[in-house]
Amino acid sequence: MGAPGSVAASSCIFCAIAQKKAPAYIVYEDEDTLAFLDIAPLSRGHTLVIPKAHVDRITDLPPARYASVLATVTEICRRMERLSRDYNIGVNQGPLAGQIVFHLHFHVIPRYAHQVGGFPRERLPLAPEEARALLRELGPG
């Protein structure tokens, strides 16, 4: 049995996405990392960046992966600037911090003038046509 909040890689939804066993709208992929649209975005374009190999805590990320993960976060930020030059980058680590998926992921959340007061309380599911439009807007360019 793992630590509270931990999950075996075999039942991890983000591992399933990384292994293409579960669907996702993939914005970017390389050997070590994947970036895909959040299923319930906090704002338009909300994207998650993960290392493909399962690790929950950032402190368990092998140092050999630091560069690839940061490079992908930065690539997503670069593309996100097509939508907004303002964005939050964040990691929720542990249940008390709001983590609900226990596979390390970096949120990249664009901020817009109309949302300056904060994020919406109600998170709507990402609509397929909106996801397809975002994939075009956030593509390699």
Residues tagged active-site: 105
Q: Which is nearer to ligand 5GP, 53 or 101 (CB)?
A: 101
The candidate with the shortest Cα–Cα distance to 48, out of 126, 136, 128, 133, is 126
The tokens for 66 are 């630091």
Residue nearest to Zn ion according to CB distances in the complex: 12
Closer of 64 and 128 to ligand 5GP (Cβ): 128
Q: What tokens does 129 get?
A: 């046509």
Q: Please spell the DSSP secondary structure of 74-85, one letter per residue.
A: HHHHHHHTTT-S
Q: Are strands 33-37 and 47-51 parallel, antiparallel or unpaired?
A: antiparallel
Residues 1, 3, 96, 100: which binds ligand 5GP (CB under 6 A)? 100
Q: How many residues does the chain have?
A: 141
Judge contact between 44 and 32, C-beta under 8 A. no
Stretch that binds ligand 5GP, among 53-61, 73-81, 95-103, 111-119 (CB under 6 A): 95-103
Residues 47-66 that bind Zn ion (CB under 5 A): 54
- Per-residue binding string, Zn ion, 94-113, x by CB under 5 A, is ---------x----------
Sequence-ordered list of residues with C-beta below 8 angstroms from that of 6, at least 6 positions apart, any chain: 56, 102
Interface with Zn ion by CB under 5 A: which range of 25-33, 36-44, 46-54, 69-77?
46-54
Q: Which residues bind ligand 5GP (CB under 6 A)?
A: 13, 24, 36-40, 48, 92, 98-101
